[in-house]
Structure 1
Amino acid sequence: MSIQITRSPMGIVTCLLDNPQRRNALNGVMLQALCETYEAAGQGDGIRAIVLRGAHGTFCAGRDLRELESRQDDSDASIAERIAPVTRLAQAVRQCAVPTVAVIEGKAVGLGVALASWCDLVLAADDATFQIPEARAGIVPTYTAVSLAQAIGQRQALAMCLGGRSLGALLAQTYGLVQQVCPAAGLDDDLDTLCQCLIACGPQALRQCKDLLVRARGQPFDVAIESAAALSVASMRSAEALEGMQAVLGKRPPAWTQPPRQDC
């Protein structure tokens, strides 16, 4: 099996990369399954967050090179067709309506680093490493370089892409790629704590916050503040905000912290 997708009663979807022979490198089947999962998250089916991690103590070794091996008779169109699923996945993760979390254990290599950078939050074990070795094989790390430049800045992206050296979790945190470094033995507990924090927040509030920040990227400050003001009015009038404020005043959990009812 190359990927396992599970869902908790509270709507936390976990995508577990499980391709041990290739160190969880992404093949076409895995890319398709991931794209469909992230694209479906905004369709109102109660998904609260998507967690991405790797099985067997490692995150992801990048793209499965067996599907990308160059041939002399390759055309531009055939190469573009083979890499198109990566473009789709990049857009699916970055545009996902719900919070996305990457959990890094062992190694994140090449496209695996880009995959982490597309997620909203990255948790890493303290012994995890990040590496972008494509240039050593004469390949431009295109997706990863662009993704990192947008996520952590051009100079930090260059530091990771030029030379292909391995980077530890703590240094990746100083670069801004990782938000939280956890002891390897306590990674699952820290992930559970994060998921509980996400569940405690209003689902629409989180989705709208993500959308606001995407729209505000690159906007002049005054324009971004006007967008924030408009959303504030709409948010305060929403049923979710009314429920949340009543829950706070009534010192009770809000309704969205309970599993959805299953109709018989």
Structure 2
Amino acid sequence: MAQKPDVTPTDADLDALDVTDAEAAEINAIAHPLVADPAPDANDDLVQIRSTADGVVFVTINRPQKKNAFDAATIAALREAFETLHGADHVRLVFLRGAGGTFCAGADLEWMRDAVDWSESDNRDDAMGLAKMLKALHDVPALTVALVEGAAMGGGAGLVAACDMAVAVKGAKFAFSEVRLGLIPATIAPYVVEAVGPRAARRLFATAELFDADAARDFGLIDRVLPSADALDDLIAELSTAMRAVAPGAVGDAKRLVHHVAGHKLDSGLMDDTARRIARARVSDEGQEGVRAFLDKRKPRWAE
């Protein structure tokens, strides 16, 4: 194999982020998986799913020794987890995170080494696995929230963009470093462009620059920056409480409404479609219960 290209952040990159030498070493270790040889997985439980009685689900990428980098098996496990959540009526809120203090470092080194010798057809089939996993996450009916610690690089940042909401702990780092390897962030592009807009996406994809949580918030990739990992528990409690007050079925319908109307011309066809959707909601079980509960000055069944 050819000598590994230098894809680590430059001194100027690190100075701009105002990081210490120790932090710089950690960033260099996860700026792209090509710079660090992965350790073996501790176990075969690549993705962990934990749920609470009130419908809050935690999906955790469980490859901390490899900084939760993707390989085909991990992608397949994530897709299975997300597709399972499509049919789980009791689920109100889904948190996505990485084990061991890193969200996701992108592509696994061994997986990338294997792909070097694949045909274009083989690579297309492999890439479709990632594309389908991201679509499965995007289409989860419940509110999905990425909890970013450490770093989200390449495909990891794509996971962040595919969620409905994202928060990051201060000090988290992000990059779309594919062009440094002569590649492009193709499968994650629809979600990143939706999150940050075309102009910012062109900049971030073309420069492969390393940016911090505050910049990620400015770009629109994340919604909130938390002062430390200790604040995650309060954020989880806050959102869990908020989601108990809303109808689970209506949340899924509202998300599908956004996906449908985004980018559509405001014409008679769209007006007719939205009128049909609200009419259907008004006669649904949740719609009837919600309005009657409001008029009766009581909590609806899902909030009890």
TM above 0.5, one fold? yes
The percent of aligned pairs where both chains have the same amino acid is: 31
Unaligned residue ranges in structure 2 (runs of 5+):
1-42
Paired residues for 1:56-205 under 5 Å: 56-70=100-114, 73-184=117-228, 185-205=230-250
- Decide which of 230, 252, 255 is 1:210's aligned counterpart: 255
8 Å Cα contact 2:92/2:142 also seen in 1: yes
Output the CA distance in 1 between the equivalents of 2:232 and 2:116. 45
- Which of structure 1's runs of 4+ aligned residues deviate more than 6 A? none
Q: TM-score, normalised by structure 2?
A: 0.78
Output the CA distance in 2 between the equivalents of 1:200 and 1:78. 47
Q: Aligned-pair distance for 1:71?
A: 6.3
8 Å Cα contact 2:86/2:139 also seen in 1: no
3-state SS in 1 of match to 2:107: coil
3-state SS in 2 of match to 1:186: helix
Q: Aligned-pair distance for 1:150?
A: 2.8
Task: Give yes or no for the alignment of 1:248 onto 2:294.
Answer: yes
In structure 2, the residue matched to 1:261 is none
Code of the residue aligned with 2:167 in structure 1: it is L
After superposing the two structures, state which structure 1 stretch, 140-149 or 189-198, moved more: 140-149
After superposing the two structures, state which structure 1 stretch, 182-191 or 200-209, moved more: 182-191
8 Å Cα contact 2:175/2:208 also seen in 1: yes
Code of the residue aligned with 2:279 in structure 1: it is V
Q: TM-score, normalised by structure 1?
A: 0.89
3-state SS in 2 of match to 1:63: coil
Q: Deviations over 1:55-96 (max 9, x none)?
A: 111100012131122567532222223323101112211222
8 Å Cα contact 1:129/1:169 also seen in 2: yes
CA RMSD of aligned residues (A): 2.0
Unaligned residue ranges in structure 1 (runs of 5+):
259-264
Output the CA distance in 2 between the equivalents of 1:70 and 1:27. 10
Output the CA distance in 1 between the equivalents of 2:142 and 2:169. 23
Q: Aligned-pair distance for 1:116?
A: 0.7
Q: Aligned-pair distance for 1:251?
A: 4.2
In structure 1, the residue matched to 2:27 is none
Q: Aligned-pair distance for 1:146?
A: 4.0
Paired residues for 1:215-234 under 5 Å: 215-222=260-267, 223-234=269-280
Q: 1:33 to 1:199 in 2, by over 3 A?
A: farther
3-state SS in 2 of match to 1:103: strand
Output the CA distance in 1 between the equivalents of 2:116 and 2:75. 26
Code of the residue aligned with 1:248 in structure 2: it is F
Q: 1:115 to 1:163 in 2, by over 3 A?
A: same
8 Å Cα contact 2:64/2:98 also seen in 1: no
Output the CA distance in 2 between the equivalents of 1:140 and 1:25. 18
Q: 1:146 to 1:42 in 2, by over 3 A?
A: closer
> Across the two proteins, how many residue pairs are aligned to each other?
258
8 Å Cα contact 2:127/2:187 also seen in 1: no
8 Å Cα contact 1:212/1:227 also seen in 2: no
Output the CA distance in 2 between the equivalents of 1:130 and 1:82. 24
8 Å Cα contact 2:64/2:102 also seen in 1: no
Q: Aligned-pair distance for 1:177?
A: 1.2
Larger radius of gyration: 2
3-state SS in 1 of match to 2:125: helix
Output the CA distance in 1 between the equivalents of 2:198 and 2:215. 16
3-state SS in 2 of match to 1:201: coil
In structure 2, the residue matched to 1:237 is 283
Output the CA distance in 2 between the equivalents of 1:71 and 1:120. 31
3-state SS in 1 of match to 2:193: helix
Q: Aligned-pair distance for 1:243?
A: 2.0
Q: Aligned-pair distance for 1:44?
A: 4.5
Code of the residue aligned with 1:174 in structure 2: it is D
Q: Aligned-pair distance for 1:45?
A: 3.9
